[in-house]
Amino acid sequence: MTLPFEVGVVVCDLASMERFYCEVIGCRIERRSRVPASVGGPAGLGGELEVVWLGVPSGGRVKLIRPRSAPVEVPAAAWSPGRPGLSYLTFHVDDADPVVARLAAAGARSLSDPLVVPAHGRRISFWADPEGNVVELVDRRGGRPRQGHSN
C-alpha cells in the first residue's frame, strides 16, 4: 500500500454530505476534482463525476462521489450490521458524546438504543447520515477508569 485507505461513498447531494462529514464528523476537505465520463463511465459510475476527498484526522479518506447524472436509486432496506457487503463507516473518536450531540443537532438518525452503548471497554454509537449511510462512532472511554474509582 502506498497511500492511506480511502472509501468511496456515492451521494445525491454533494454539498450537504460534504458539510455533514466536515462539520459533524470532523473530516477536512483535501481535494476536489471532476472526473471525465471517459473514466467514470467505464468504471461503472455512470459518466462524469464530481469527487471530494475528505481527510480523516487519524488517517485515511472518505471520497464523496456525485455522478453528474442522477445516482441509481436502490430500494431502502432495513439496516442490519450483519448483512453482507459494506455496512458502515467507523470513526474512532476521543469522546463520542460531543459528536453524538452534533449528529443529533444535524438531523442524523440514531440507530443505537441507547445512543451510546458500552462494548468491550469501548463506547459505540451507530447513526444514519443524511442520505442513510451508516456511521459508527467508537471511543475508548468505556474502558478507562474514572478518577477516584477503580474498575
The pLDDT tens digits of the residues spanning 94-113 come to 999 999 999 989 989 999 99
Query: 4-33: per-residue pLDDT in tens?
Result: 889 999 999 999 999 999 999 999 999 999
Position 86, amino acid: L
Burial class (CB in 10 A: 0-12, 13-18, 19+), 96: buried
Q: 2: number of CA atoms within 13 Å, CB side?
A: 0
Q: How many CB atoms within 10 Å of residue 36?
A: 10
Cβ partners under 8 Å of residue 115, min gap 6:
100, 125
| Four-CA torsion 22, 28, 32, 37, nearest 10 degrees | -60
The whole-model pTM stands at 0.81
Confidence of residue 79 (pLDDT cuts 50, 70, 90): low
